Structure 1
């Protein structure tokens, strides 16, 4: 076991200052991913700054009718929150499809966003990996890549982001609140995670020493419906082979608003802008949904063993969008 220090700060600024004063330190909240990576030897922080006790564990109404979710709100708490279930069902569904009940009771909002890939090569320190050791190579491209990316990957990395929650947040146009040595800033979830490019070791756009303090959701559209669906190898406790989060508003049989995001296909939650453009103003039919999905997935570049993901994601998107057109779908508060 590698020794490390432990600090429980009294406030947010103390936590930020501690990280700035100790290069190689990490924030710790639920620890459901970080502790696993420490056990595997993937990461070895010199100091853990425990932010779980900071006053960041509430879900609050915003003046414009949205919600602000504190960084340390547990996944199970958020999934069960009355306002989330009623107004953002896509988020509640995504949270409940992730991990197990025991893990959801510990995992936090910020930790979920910051969890790292489950690529086998990243987690095995006996294997080379550009994400873990820049310049080492990416054996996944020619090796075991069935579960990995078909969109947005590079010669340096084909890893996928494992979060379900982040996919729903991308479709909801959520915004991540950050606080660090240079002050506060806000980053849309759709811009928060990076594609690998030639810097796969950098998962997000966070700056050194920054702490996620919360996530804000804009007010839901009065006529909008939303849903999340996930395809995986087994019914529970498995990461997505492909997933879809969708928000759809239909009026007189025509799509007036559409937001679509894919999970399990890329290095970050994949906001399907081409599909959304194809949906907007079109008839709300399965044929339209299929054309929209194809417009997005035509740019996919599957590897030897994961081409099935393209059709899987297409079928999921069509199914989810069609379900949102059905009159029985839950729409939120009446």
Structure 2
């Protein structure tokens, strides 16, 4: 099954994590998990029509965040009534090369306090998110593109607002608008909306759309007054898989013998024939007995306590998902990575046990605290 989930080079470079992104009508949780494991993804950003459900991925131990709901509004430009701009002392004109630095500074001022879906994820630093807005806007300011345009609002020689726009056939989109905080509340945003509506209409566009986070009521009120109507809502989910992030703690081969399994069965009292009896295992469709899942968990406990991080380590929490059976007498690859420890908090370790074909058999998320 091919999923609409692909590596996002720009976001990966910006945040220093392996980020994937895709749009879904429905989330197939198992298929998403398999894709994340195969890619070694750290974060997946899933977006789709509301209500989109992705919380079921939590069963695999991953942190799953409903990051936002994005709402789209549309306007029929064929029925647009021309309205005069409110700020007579402001000139709105196309941006040019000399405006690049001013627009960049304006993006930082306008979006420093704005909260997008990225801010819902603690893995993404605020400064990196803000850099993303700058990068986004600059993609419309430079270089020139026939399907993109940026308008700037200038007052007394100062750029105090901007509108980054795009056109796809007969559909125009107001992609990104920004007003300097010192000039907010004076109707300048309304003027930029009216100006871009008129510009798209003059270019032959039949409709225009804009979007924002659902909590951003202020701009939605403006859109409603200016002839826009709600047309679509999309949920955004972040899945923090963290399969490549952090430092490698261990990468070695493990092989659980039948004698080891029998000893564990004796210790725990779990003498399920699937673990101890070859005939019972064969009757169930396996070529040999299966290792107790908790025996794999015990191996992680031994590793954390004795090798990496080592003596003094406490295992505070573990979430183990058994995706494929671990068979006795077969070699597997155990890999553990850990994120840098936040001050005063446990360190998250992510462990995988893979078979000879590279398929993940066990996925574990563990919180570690080293007391030394």
TM-score (norm 2): 0.22
Higher share in strand: 2
TM-score (norm 1): 0.24
- Which of the pair has more CA radius of gyration? 2
